[in-house]
Structure 1
Amino acid sequence: MADNQQDQVREAVVEAALGKLDLDTKAGLLAGQDMWSLPAVPGIGLASLVMSDGPIGVRGIRWTADDPSIALPSPTALAATWDPELACRAGRLLAQEARRKGVHVLLAPTVNLHRTPVGGRHFEAYSEDPYLTGAIGIGYVRGVQSGGVGTTVKHFVANDAETDRFTVDNVVSARALRELYLAPFEAIVENAHPWGIMTAYNTVNGTTMTEHRYLVNEVLRGEWGFDGFNVSDWMAARSTTGDIMGGLDVAMPGPETVYGPALAAAVRAGEVEESTVDEAVRNVLRLAARVGILEGAAPEVTDTEMPAEIDGEALAREIARRAFVLVRNSGALPLRSGGSVALIGAAARDARVLGGGSATVFPTHVVSPLDGLTAVLPEGTLTYAIGADPNEELAAAGAGFELRARCLDAAGDIIGTASVPGGRIQWIGADLPDGVTHDTLHTVEFTGTFTPRVSGPHTFGTQGIGGFTLTVAGQVLFDGEQPLASAADPFAAFFGSPVGRGDVDLVSGEPVDVSLRYVVFKPEGAPLQAIAFSLVHREPQRDPDELIAEAVEAARSAGTAVVVVATTERVESEGFDRKDLRLPGRQDDLVRAVAAANPNTVVVVNSGSPVELPWREDVAAVLLSWFPGQEGGDALADVLTGAEEPGGRLPTTWGTFDDAPVTEVAPTDGRLAYTEGVFIGYRAWERSGATPSYAFGHGLGYTDWTYEAIEVRDGGATAVVRVRNSGERSGREVVQVYLAPEQADPARPARWLAGFAGVEAAPGESVEVTVPLPRRAFEIWDENADAWAHQPGAYEVEAGRSVADRRVSARVKV
């Protein structure tokens, strides 16, 4: 049956189902029944719709290592591949994971822009550029939905920072909204037909997004023709009448929401037309039909149309190495065959492979850089030294801990058990072990052992709100209450900060018993039921200068020193923004000292977003690994040894905090004005005249490229670029095409990305690539006409390796 016929049949089934529902059932269908799902309605053959967090893995309804997930590299890494088809493959894998976990809708992708490098959730979004963001997002959405799983493109719109994210009023000009912040959403709606959109916590120009009738009903649904469902960010919905009139279909989570009984009452009181409720229910039923949980309606993707099974570990490794961006290389990479390597850095042993907050999942395993290099380098050629530890606080219990959790009721009887990955529990809503409910759960007990890697005084502590009893090696380190503290972000207040409770002298390799008893904190009036606490730990603190000195000695005697530097969860995570772009701890001092001892020093930067690199000119090579996912260590070994080429290009500009054009994220009197207008990212860097550390689009491989020619065809609709691999090995190049108006206009950027394409070639081979130039690239948003306006005139169409390295150009008049 043709797609159009299928759509018609599906719509008929939806209408028939809608006609059988009474008001209370319809209102209830728009409210979460728990943390992750909508209620089933057996009378119309509707099963419960299940949603789950992403975007780098599928958590499922239970956030637990008992139900592990593939952990792909961070969204910044995916965007660094500049490969929409690879993003599509990532989406297909995530759909496969979702189906395995019984999930119908993935709460991803995040397509907010990198307005500023200090955004705390920067790692979870793709790029500072709306065109690149849209292109990667299109691939991702197509991939997920080709597997019969829905997406919710988020966070609609201008949710670009974490400071006061629930209440901030972002004041954005109509032009900046259209040309920057709405643009990725528009491109994805037009080209990928997403089945869902998530509206954000924040307010835009005086109206909270869940009530934004203009942006949702008039722009998203009206102008763009979006026919999917609109779900709130979790706890973003605040007004029954305001939200339903503003175009919000589903208020999450449940069971306490502004919909359900409150919505039915509003209809009966004459405050809301029942037809408005019907339209929201229609959108939910259409989604249910598409994912195959509404009887009588064929799903959008049938079993016979499902993509072939994907090897998740292999794809995670491929994305990671394709995402690594080699920003500097004076010949140190690839590593010399047979040479000795000193691997240095705490993150080389305990890699950070994903960001904090909603992006967190539990993989079955994590391959660290130390693991990866140990597996491929000849025995006896690799040494390791910590050098500097970026963790300045206690962190959730990790390496060396073997823990299980027991759930007890008020009488002390065991009602459930669970594993304890990283010493952390985060059970929200129905996300509880089998047999456990929030009403019956009174106490959670961790029991197990800890085997230290080093001897000395180990610090143990707790994180969370409630009563704790912590015992290590027979010593009671704490027995008391941790009170609720104030915090700007309610999630941060609830989860609390790690608190040290005492030190215990331990011997390397000798296990000790560890237990933590937690009496559940149940605040009155909480918007959702949640249990969140951690056992935290820190290894013995050695003198930082001694650690650096040891690393220097290791580096001095090695052919190559590889230093892995990193951010921590206290630097990059959901719920707060960064105060600066510096690496935490003594890592900058470590790099300088190692580079002084060994001129052949390679630095691997393990961060999800930009950090300052004050030593970058003093080292032989700098490789950005982002948060590389669970297979990151093997991917790193592939690239360092030259088995694979680093394939990434920067999706966002890297520079210093002082030079960054946009760093303000704190509102004044509740309002944050986007005074920079359309000038963010490389557009703003070019206008300011400041030189970043590394420009947007920059990235080196293991071969060289010569740009030979460019020709603009079809009246400016396409650019044909010829490049030649002028190096000594096969490789891949990302041909980037920028559009620059010949007549300078201070109201417009000097240039902007208009298209790109990846090419592969053998040594000496020339290849041509055709890059479409969309009509929108020649338009601006005319605020007076409230419409897109074509900008005639002469343009330079420039092709090159980055926005700052443009090699060939052609003039076109449109």
Structure 2
Amino acid sequence: MAAYSDGPEAASFIETTIESMTLEAKVDLLSGADSFSLNSNAQIGLDGLVLSDGPTGVRGPVVVGGRIGCLLPNASLLAQSWDPIAMREVGNLLAEEAIDQQTHVVLGPTINLHRSPLGGRLFEAFSEDPLLTGHLAAAYVKGIQDHGVAATPKHFLGNESETERTTVNAVIEDAALRETYLLPFEIVVHDAAPWALMAAYNRVNGLPSTEQQPLMNGVVKGEWAYDGLIMSDWLATQTAIESANAGLDLVMPGPDTPWTESLVSSVEAGLVTESVVDDHVRRLLRLAARVGAFHTKRSWRDGLPTPASPTRREQLKRLAAQGMVVIKNEGGALPLRSGVRQRIALIGRHAVDTIAQGGGSAQVRPPHIVSIADGLSRRIDEGHLEVIDGVETRTTLPPADPAHLRDPETDLPGVRIRVYGAAGELRGSRHCDLAEIEDSQAGWLEGAEVIEFEAAVHLPEPTRMRLGARGPGEWMVTAPGHEEQFEITYHDGPGGGFFRPKSHATTVPLATGDIVKATVRRGALPRILGLVLTTAPRPAAATIANAVRGAQNADTSIVVVGFTPDQETEGLDKTTLTLPGDQDALVAAVASASKKTIVVLNAATPVLMPWLDLVDAVLFAGLPGQEAGDAVAAALTGEYLPEGRLVTTFPAHDGDGPAWSVAPKNGDLEYSEGTAVGYRGWHESATAPAYWFGHGLGYTEWEYEGAEILQTAESDLLVRVTVHNIGAHPGRETIQVYVRPHSEGDPIRLAGWSQADLAPGEHASVVVHCDPRLLRRWDTERGGWAPFEGMDIIVARGLGDVRATIPVPA
């Protein structure tokens, strides 16, 4: 169902309703009721809408300890499928998750571009290419809105990095703005008509995103005739008059915002017209009608698959595995041969502590996370798989695994949390099945002056463990024979880095039954707080030596390395693409000792691979979601073919590429590469990347022949090519068509792609439709679009593997 009320009758009802409302009642609707809901109005029959963060799963209003939901593979891993059908399936899944939680609006997808590989939030976004991002996002939005749930593409505009994200001024020339950064939003607005958009924190060319009159009113609502709602990012709105007149429709969160403070008086003073307020209300009521909260009311479906159901588990495993990219595969190292009783050494901290999601507002509480060790052990005969821990990878320690703790009052896995008032009186006590809470939650935590975590340790044998806490505040941590006081500071940035709590821990001897406590006083800002209990670190040299011994005794070594939420997170950009800790040394040492070495990259963004020539195969696995280990095992064994293609160019060295630095200078971040972002800029450079955008080997080989332009018209270009599967495995080929304009200053760009699924020996004639929005350039002097003056058509498996070039004269 595309919408519950979206026709002339609903439009007429909305106009009648607006005419009946007072100015105060109108303005009341235009700010959030709280963090994740909107105000209801019984007099006009409006229900309160519920919103949820949603790029990786529908989390609900509580960041930590909320409802369990499906944790999807991260957005760039899903995008590596290059498959709009799969993305529509993802949208359908998210909509069903939203319906199950009675949520009207999903805050996603994130469709900013991978401008620099250092961007901390790239894992949430699709790719470095505007066409690929736009088409995949449109399918995602359609999938969500098919079920009467609103999608919210974000962050409009120029939010390609996190450094100084609330104040940075993205300086973008007109051609780059139009051809590159506006284009994904243009595609998704025209092709999928999302019911909401979200404005970003940053400035663009001097204006805050929430006050962008030229972009919101001028381009989106004017040129594109967008009829949906534009909301702010959380706490991004700083003004009433400027933002209301610029085209912002909804200020989040509430209840207290610049609009509740002064928008009524601004209208009364003639600084904002009431017709402007009416348009904001019209769009808000249109959104409510579309999701079944106004005019025609929805009834929520039940009986949907649960996050841990076999249906969801298989679906999420398949979506993750099919997007994984085979970067290197020499000598047929992959897939792992079935029926061959080989000894496998699975090595690396990421094998046992598999990273399933990035940090920040996209976090979801999953029913489980399958580690790669668990996933592979289900497919390897008993006694033929040795799992060997690797070197340390995390800087910030995660909360304790509840399996290692028992509530001392109930003996249930988890912790006992008590809250005390200012006079030391006990105000509340409850069991928590996580060792972490969000202290901004209402209810039993209100009025708490002191929060205490208490647990009995539950370990297989006495051992030395790191014991401590995470989250800002003045802490006291105790255990038998141990007492420590320390302070953990807030991060810089909005909300004190709410989504990135720091940690502190000390190594102490512990045994089952030992009581540990962590107590913290109330802080100035909302916080994520937790008890830390994790294995004590071992020296890297001893860890690597142990891994080498395991590799020497194996037929194949699989080394799992990657980033952690310390690098891939909202609120913080990376400074290097080097793997954290001593992971590079681990890979090199194992490869030097092993007969065959396969590396699995558990990361969402490009990494440097100084050991690349030493290993036989590399699988880029992304952040695979709740079924991570099963998905990686399915890809390694060929149960599901990892036919993904890279969505971001991999540099060979730090600093390479058309855009690198994400650090503003005097508040400005110059997009100096213009339209030549990502592979476009690499193509113009004398420096070669490690791997091109669009690269991906799969498990078979392909031959192309007979590439030709099938048809040209004023705004239509079709390219036909025959592809042959000449390898030993079935496969999916992604045929990519690029245009290289003859005009100076216009870089190469992806214009279209298509896919073919073929068994060994099969061939197919494939037609690729080139999107006319990529066959034009922005003429800055004229302020309008102009066709290219001649171009070359390039047919490729990726720009590192071009198969045909066809000139097209002007």
Residues 345 and 649 of structure 1, relative CA distance in 2, 3 Å threshold: same
CA separation of 1:453 and 1:9: change in aligned 2, threshold 3 A: farther
User: What's 1:451 paired with?
Assistant: 458
Q: Which range is displaced more, 36-45 or 412-421? A: 412-421
Identify the match of residue 586 of structure 1 among 576, 582, 588.
582
| TM-score of the two chains, using structure 1 as the length reference | 0.93
Report the residue type matching 1:186 in the other structure: E
Normalised by the length of structure 2, the TM-score is: 0.93
Q: Displacement of 1:609 after TM fit?
A: 0.7
1:289-326 alpha-carbon deviations (Å, 9 max, x no partner): 000011x3366x9979x999993222211111011100
Q: Which aligned pairs between 1:64-103 and structure 2 lie closer than 5 A? A: 64-103=64-103
The question of whether the paired residues in 2 share the 8 Å contact of 1:395 and 1:498 is answered with no
Other-structure match for 2:335: 334
Give 1:645 shift. 1.4
SS in 2 for 1:156: coil
Question: Aligned residue for 1:503?
Answer: 507
Q: Does 1:477 align with 2:487?
A: no
Aligned partner of residue 102 in structure 1, secondary structure: coil
> What pairs up with 1:530-569 in 2 under 5 angstroms?
530-569=526-565
Q: What is the correspondence of 1:99-114 to structure 2 with a 5 Å cutoff?
A: 99-114=99-114
The root-mean-square deviation of aligned C-alpha atoms, in Å, is 2.4
1:687 to 684, 688, 696: 684
More divergent stretch after superposition (268-277 vs 389-398): 389-398
Q: CA shift at 1:10, angstroms?
A: 1.5
How is 1:210-229 mapped onto 2 (pairs within 5 angstroms)? 210-229=210-229
Structure 2 counterpart of 1:712: 709
Show the counterpart of 1:527. Answer: none
1:367 to 2:365 alignment: no
Q: What is the Cα deviation at residue 520 of structure 1? A: 2.1
Contact 1:13–1:297 (8 Å) recurs in 2: no
For residue 521 of structure 1, report the CA deviation from its aligned partner: 1.7
SS of residue in 2 equivalent to 1:503: strand
Q: Structure 1 residues 453, 781: closer, same or farther in 2, change over 3 A?
A: farther
Q: CA deviation at 1:497?
A: 5.3
8 Å Cα contact 1:782-1:789 kept in structure 2: yes
Secondary structure of 1:395 counterpart:
coil
- 3-state DSSP class of the match of 1:763? coil
- Equivalent residue number for residue 409 of structure 2: none
Aligned residues of 2:557 and 2:598 also touching (Cα < 8 A) = yes
1:625 deviates by 0.4
Change (3 A) 1:213 1:225: same
Amino acid at match of 1:777: L
Amino acid at match of 1:491: G
The match for 2:608 is 612
Q: How does 1:659-698 map to 2 (within 5 A)?
A: 659-698=656-695
Equivalent residue of 1:593, what SS?
helix
Q: Secondary structure at the match of 2:7?
A: helix
Q: Secondary structure of 1:371's partner?
A: helix
Q: CA contact under 8 A between 1:57 and 1:71: conserved in structure 2?
A: yes
* Residue type at the aligned position of 1:518: V
- Other-structure match for 2:444: 436
1:235-246 correspondence runs (5 A)? 235-246=235-246
Distance in 1 between residues matched to 2:394 and 2:756, nearest whole Å? 41
- 1:520 is aligned to 522
The 10-residue stretch of structure 1 (707-716 or 449-458) with the greater mean CA deviation from structure 2: 449-458
Q: Distance in 2 between matches of 1:635 and 1:308?
A: 19
Specify the code of the residue in structure 1 equivalent to 2:109.
P
* Cα contact 1:427–1:531 (8 A) shared by 2: yes
Letter aligned with residue 438 of structure 2: Q
Preserved contact between residue 439 and residue 529 of structure 2 (Cα < 8 Å): no
Query: Aligned letter for 1:581?
Result: L
Q: CA deviation at 1:516?
A: 2.3
SS in 2 for 1:396: coil
Contact persistence 1:210–1:246 (CA under 8 A): yes
Distance change >3 Å, CA 770–CA 553, structure 1 → 2: same
**CA distance change for structure 1 residues 297 and 229 in 2, over 3 Å: closer, same or farther?**
same
Q: Does structure 1 conserve the Cα–Cα contact (< 8 Å) formed by 2:488 and 2:504?
A: no
Of 410, 432, 438, which aligns to 1:426?
Answer: 438
Within-5 A mapping of 1:8-87: 8-87=8-87
Residue-by-residue CA offset, 1:463-518 (whole Å, 9 max, x unaligned): 3233433223x3553346x3755x541334556753435331135xx353333233
| CA-CA distance at 1:254 after TM superposition | 1.2
Distance 1:722 1:564, change over 3 A: same
Return the offset for 1:26: 1.2
Q: CA separation in 2, counterparts of 1:673 and 1:332?
A: 44
Tell me: CA distance 1:455–1:709, structure 2 relative to 1, closer, same or farther (3 Å): farther
Counterpart residue identity of residue 635, structure 1:
A
Q: 1:784 aligns with which of 776, 781, 784?
A: 781
- For 1:407 and 1:226, locate their aligned partners in 2 and report how far apart those are by CA, in whole Å: 50
Q: Does the CA contact (< 8 Å) of 2:64 and 2:528 recur in 1?
A: no
Residue matched to 2:184: 184
Instruction: Name the CA shift for 1:549/1:5 in 2 (closer, same or farther; >3 Å).
Output: closer
C-alpha contact (below 8 Å) 1:567/1:607 kept by paired residues: yes
The whole-number CA distance in structure 2 between the counterparts of 1:192 and 1:393 is 40
Q: Which moved more, 1:623-632 or 1:254-263?
A: 254-263
Cα deviation, residue 261, structure 1: 3.9
Q: CA separation in 2, counterparts of 1:453 and 1:540?
A: 15
Matched residue SS, 1:448:
strand
Q: SS state of the match for residue 550, structure 2?
A: helix
5+ residue gaps, structure 1, are 524-529
Residue 369 of structure 2 aligns to a residue whose secondary structure is coil
Q: Which moved more, 1:59-68 or 1:363-372?
A: 59-68
Q: What are the Cα deviations for residues 5-44 of structure 1, in whole angstroms up to 9, with x where unaligned?
A: 9511121121222222211121111111111111110111
Q: Please tell me whether residue 349 in structure 1 is matched to residue 352 in structure 2.
A: yes
1:685-730, Cα deviation, whole Å (9 max, x unpaired): 1111211111110001111111122221221521122101111222
Deviations 1:510-558 (A, max 9, x none): 35333323332245xxxxxx24222234422212111101101101111
| Equivalent residue, structure 2, for 1:526 | none
The Cα offsets for residues 312-345 of structure 1, whole Å up to 9 and x where unpaired, read as 2222111110111000001211113321110000
Aligned partner letter, 1:691: A
**CA distance, structure 2, for counterparts of residue 537 and residue 252 of structure 1:** 36
Q: How many residues align?
A: 790
- Cα distance, 1:416 vs structure 2: 6.3
Please give the per-residue CA displacement for 1:664-698, whole angstroms capped at 9, x wherever unaligned: 21111111111111111111111112111111100
Letter in 2 for 1:516: A
Q: Which residue of 1 aligns with 2:415?
A: 404
Moved more, 28-37 or 659-668: 659-668
CA 1:454–1:495: 2 relative to 1, 3 Å = farther
SS at match of 1:17: helix
Q: How does 1:138-177 map to 2 (within 5 A)?
A: 138-177=138-177
Change in Cα spacing, 1:708 to 1:406, as seen in structure 2 (3 Å) is: same
| 2-structure distance, mates of 1:53, 1:685 | 34
Inter-partner Cα distance in structure 1 for 2:755 and 2:322:
12
Equivalent residue of 2:256, what SS?
Answer: coil
1:192-239: per-residue Cα shift (whole Å, max 9, x none)? 000010000000011001001110001011011111111100010000
> In the superposition, relative to structure 1, how do residues 157 and 492 fare at CA in structure 2: closer, same or farther (>3 Å)?
same
What amino acid does structure 1 have at the position aligned with 2:366?
Answer: P
SS at 1:460 equivalent: strand
Contact residue 505 and residue 532 of structure 2 kept, 8 A = no
C-alpha distance in structure 1 between counterparts of 2:460 and 2:647, whole Å: 38
Structure 2 unaligned segments of length 5 or more: list them: 406-412
Aligned partner of 2:736 in structure 1 is 736
Residues 729 and 226 of structure 1: is their aligned pair in 2 closer, same or farther, counting only changes over 3 Å? Answer: same
Question: How far apart, CA to CA, are the structure 2 residues paired with 1:737 and 1:468?
Answer: 58
SS of alignment partner, residue 177 of structure 1: helix
1:419 partner amino acid: C
Q: Deviations over 1:348-390 (max 9, x none)?
A: 0010000000111110011110000111111100001113121
